Amino acid sequence: MTTALAAGQPVISVDTKKKELVGDFKNAGRTWRPRGDPEEVQVYDFLNDALGRAIPYGIYDLAANTGWVSVGINDDTAAFAVQTIRRWWQDVGRQRYPKAHRLVITADGGGSNGVRVRLWKRELQRLVNELGIAIEVHHLPPGTSKWNKIEHRLFSSISMNWRATPLVSYRVIIDLISATTTKTGLSVRCEPDPADYPRGTAVSEEEMDALNIVRDSFHGEWNYTIRPQTVSDRAVIP
């Protein structure tokens, strides 16, 4: 990671922030309000079926100290995670790093970007084929998820910015995330993602065998590089 940063290559930290109930529910924290004018919220935190849950998937760019967050409304799946990376690259990454020949990603070992999630690797392979550059992935070992840079450089700042503010709508959530800044210069862009990402997408053994993965000599199950496929490989994975 340090070598990639020194060489001017993009390095991003990714993860899903805690899913949030949308509606007039209590939000942790304290903030100033006029005396006698408290924010009224529901007594119980029962899911509002009409509003659902917000799923913020984030990207933190280590070199630029910037964040990108997609707010999903469906499920936290690997397809949603990789689509967020794709959108970040198309709108921000390729302009910021025009000479990039690889993209380095640090991620937790579980969740939608988990080390054992087949769909994560297949969707990354599709992204690699589209971009024409390698993607180098480093998963954090079990029990070390809080070491992931995105946790204390992006997500903690978002939580502080919207503390004690009921997340009554997706627009409020997006606006609050977008307004997150820090004294060190953090800026955040947040976009909604209304697409459907159903759970249970199966990835066959043939598709896994076709992935162009090069595993690192040090814990290759956690550290690996996905490279563009050949034409013959793409007959299995579009």
Domains identified in the chain and CATH numbers: 2-31+39-235 (3.30.420)
pLDDT tens track for 174-201 = 999 999 999 999 999 999 999 999 999 9
- Distance from C-alpha of 190 to C-alpha of 193, rounded to nearest angstrom: 10
pLDDT of 219 > 80? The answer is yes
Instruction: With CA atoms as reference, report the closest residue to 137 among 85, 90, 63.
Output: 85
pLDDT tens track for 24-39 = 878 777 776 677 666 7
Binning pLDDT at 50, 70 and 90, where does residue 41 land? low
User: Can you give the pLDDT at residue 116?
Assistant: 95
pLDDT tens track for 103-142 = 999 999 999 999 999 999 999 999 999 999 999 999 999 8
* Proportion of the chain above pLDDT 70, given as a percent: 93
User: Can you give the pLDDT at residue 25?
Assistant: 77
Q: Pick the range with the lowest mean pLDDT from 82-91, 116-125, 161-170.
A: 161-170
User: Can you give the pLDDT at residue 142?
Assistant: 84
pLDDT of 234 > 70? The answer is no
Average pLDDT for 90-101: 96
* Proportion of the chain above pLDDT 90, given as a percent: 79
Binning pLDDT at 50, 70 and 90, where does residue 236 land? low
Binning pLDDT at 50, 70 and 90, where does residue 238 land? low
- Distance from C-alpha of 90 to C-alpha of 42, rounded to nearest angstrom: 40
Average pLDDT for 59-75: 97
User: Can you give the pLDDT at residue 98?
Assistant: 96
Work out the end-to-end distance of the chain between its first and last CA atoms, rounded to an integer number of angstroms. 29
Query: What's the pTM value of the predicted model, to 2 decimals?
Result: 0.92
User: Can you give the pLDDT at residue 37?
Assistant: 64
Average pLDDT for 204-219: 96
Helix axes of 118-131 and 78-88: crossing angle, nearest 10 degrees? 20
Say which amino acid occupies 126. Answer: R
